[in-house]
Amino acid sequence: MAASTVASLVNNLATSNNKLDSLEQLKILVSSLSPQELRNVVPNVSILPVFECLNTQDKTQQEVCCSVLERMLGSLSSALILENLHHEFIRLLQQGSEPVQSLCLSQLLRVSAESPELLCQSTDLMVGITSQIASPNQQLACMATTILVNIGETPGGLGALYSGPIFETLQAVMAKDDTVRYRVYQLVVQISTISPEALEMSSQTGVLTKLINEMQTDDILLQLNCLELLSDLAQTSQGLTFLDQQGTVKRLEEMMATVGESPFGPYLLPGFLKFFGGLARFHPKEVLSHFQVFLNLLFDAINDKGDPSMKCLAIDTLGSISSTPEGKSALEKQGNTMTECLANLGKIIKNSPSDMRARALVTLANLLKIQVADQTEELLRITQNWFSRICANPFEVIWNIAKQPFSDLKVPAMLVLQSLALTPWGQQLMNNAAGFKEYLLDRAMENTKEGKEAKFHVVQAIAESPTTADIFGRPYYMQVTEFFRQGAFFVQAQSEVAYEES
């Protein structure tokens, strides 16, 4: 019944004197059918008459038609779409309005995820998709880029993308303007991060070399954008190796050292900090021992009363580097410089705007956090010493912040307590702090979802620690495990409270 009704409405579109009204009826019908019913019906109906209704300047008709097609196309397999609607998609990508192009790209995005090998065999369609990278509509350009990245994840797709008409189109759109050229750089960098093989093929196109050379231009905005892409590329081992072989890492350090010589140089400092900070996150020993200019930039930004945005970025970068055991060891080797940085971090936590205090607390949590499996005597010694360097009575300072009613500071302070709860020396501080054990188990102290969850994670860390019973004692360990078992949002029944109080 549904199949015949859908077929009848679709077939009547060609001769209808009021296509909008007919489309509205079809929209109501297909919206009422379940996905399974649509999958049974639509493959047996020619939907080309619906596509023909897109050939109008009436925006309302186009909108309704797109809604109908979105519903119907979603029930078709990738193979059927490519087999039966190949030419329609090519035509609409070239001539359709932006909403129509968006409809096509959204469907091709699904196809590229499900059947990238099939899609890359359609060269004409791939050329149409590639052309959309130059679209003035950012959303359309992003969808086209994602489709091509999906294609690039397959060996066959990568070969098709970087050869013949598709690559010629890619080169052509690059010449349009700086914005489109940057989009192509972004596409190639995303593909290059997939695998060493993808990077090798990307490098052979020469696009990555052009990206690197953009750093020699006088356009600061373009340099910033390219520096961000190089940072993304350097996050992978193959990307870092490539940039090192090209001499790019050394060249960027030299540029970082001479930014003061250019009136626009300081605008590049955040980009340099992000680039080398990203490297240090994955290769802390190498970066912190070889790139002194970066270290000076990092610590100076935290220690000086300079640009707040630069200071926030430096604080985040320090936290990122310190999030691994290797990063902690590399930072410890900085000696007095690290000690001074910790003292300044403590000042920020106590006397700065809320946003900066919150960032500093999150970084402190990263500095102190060592999972039980990673704990060694050396790392425990390092983190205990770091905490003592933050300020006088650091545990009391953090606890007082955690007791504040404001979630923007309470939650990051709880992260610090969670990090402390993982370590034996942190548990000793908690056990020795008068009233802390009672505070931790007092659910009434937290009246927000964020606060309850944050405290629960502290309790969880203690409950799962192998040293809790020895440090806190068996009775308290039993209370903590019961709290943990009950969950973050447990509410004691009123009758139980009355019974306990009696």
- Cα–Cα distances (Å) from 101 to 5, 90, 95, 124, in that order, read 28, 10, 8, 16
Residue 10 confidence (pLDDT): 85
Q: Is the pTM of this model over 0.85?
A: no
Q: How many CB atoms lie within 10 A of CB 285?
A: 13
- Angle 407-421/449-463 helices, nearest 10 degrees? 0
Residue 426 confidence (pLDDT): 98
Residue 2 confidence (pLDDT): 67
Residue 490 confidence (pLDDT): 84
**Among 123, 145, 140, residue whose Cα is nearest residue 190:** 145
Residue with token string 């890359």 = 120
Q: Are the beta carbons of 455 and 414 closer than 8 angstroms?
A: yes
Q: Are the beta carbons of 187 and 146 closer than 8 angstroms?
A: no
Per-residue pLDDT of 289-311, as tens digits, reads: 999 999 999 999 998 877 899 99
For residue 440, what is the DSSP state? H
Per-residue pLDDT of 233-272, as tens digits, reads: 988 889 989 999 999 999 999 988 888 777 777 888 888 9
CA 288 to chain centre: 25
**Hey, is 423 helix, strand or coil?**
coil
* Residue 69 CB-half CA count within 13 A: 27
Measure the CA–CA gap between 440 and 11, rounded to whole angstroms.
Answer: 69
Per-residue pLDDT of 112-148, as tens digits, reads: 999 999 999 999 999 999 999 999 999 999 999 999 9
- Cα–Cα distances (Å) from 258 to 15, 254, 255, in that order, read 72, 7, 5
- Cα–Cα distances (Å) from 62 to 66, 88, 134, 138, 334, in that order, read 6, 15, 23, 21, 64
Which segments of the chain have a pLDDT < 70? 1-3, 492-502
For residue 195, what is the DSSP state? -
* Residue 211 CB-half CA count within 13 A: 32
Q: Quick one: 266-391 is in which CATH superfamily?
A: Leucine-rich Repeat Variant (1.25.10.10)
Measure the CA–CA gap between 82 and 115, rounded to whole angstroms.
Answer: 10
